[in-house]
Copies of this chain bind each other. A is one copy, B any other.
């Protein structure tokens, strides 16, 4: 399917059937997410994947009781990673391992620490969260391109997710993507016209 057809066909599914997305397809989706763009390639994110019913049952009440949480096949919790200097150091090592010149990798590290590593916590969360939305976008388009459905969701309690999923302090829940096979049907897309978007 051409990308523009993917974008047209994707919609926020309100309820999923209980059919599981296969491990193969989930691996393909994870690869699409993993290759997402990010500012300076810092990739300041982790994605917690929840597929067991028990955890999904625990999460639904702190997700505005939305049906997608328990009817989806897999729940992807997008997490902003604000331990940025650690991430930048790991990336420097990975760059060298991947063939970058050590001096270029070091220069990347210095520039990135300078740009992001010294932000205060609020700004770190804000910056890293924005990057996760690029990966989230690949997740929802990716699911449709692979033949299944998704719903991006912000209606949940990050604090309760943090507690229930026993996350470390540097990982901040920013958004959810539930994936699976839709029970509902796509309705017509309502979007502002071009003249109300492009100026």
Contact surface of A with B, Cβ cutoff 8 Å: 1-4, 6-8, 10, 12, 28, 30-37, 39, 41, 43, 45-49, 79, 90-91, 94-95, 98-100, 126, 129-131, 133-134, 136-138, 140-142, 145, 152, 154, 174-175, 188-192, 194, 196-199
> Is the beta-carbon distance between B138 and A95 smaller than 8 angstroms?
no
- How far apart are A1's CB and chain B's nearest CB, in angstroms? 7
Number of copies: 2
In the docked arrangement, what's the CA distance between A31 and B194, Å?
Answer: 8
Residues of B within 8 Å of A8, CB to CB, are 35
In the docked arrangement, what's the CA distance between A45 and B199, Å?
Answer: 11
Residues of B within 8 Å of A31, CB to CB, are 4, 194
Residues of B within 8 Å of A95, CB to CB, are 190
In the docked arrangement, what's the CA distance between A197 and B32, Å?
Answer: 12
> Is the beta-carbon distance between A194 and B30 smaller than 8 angstroms?
yes
Residues of B within 8 Å of A197, CB to CB, are 30, 33-34, 43, 45-47
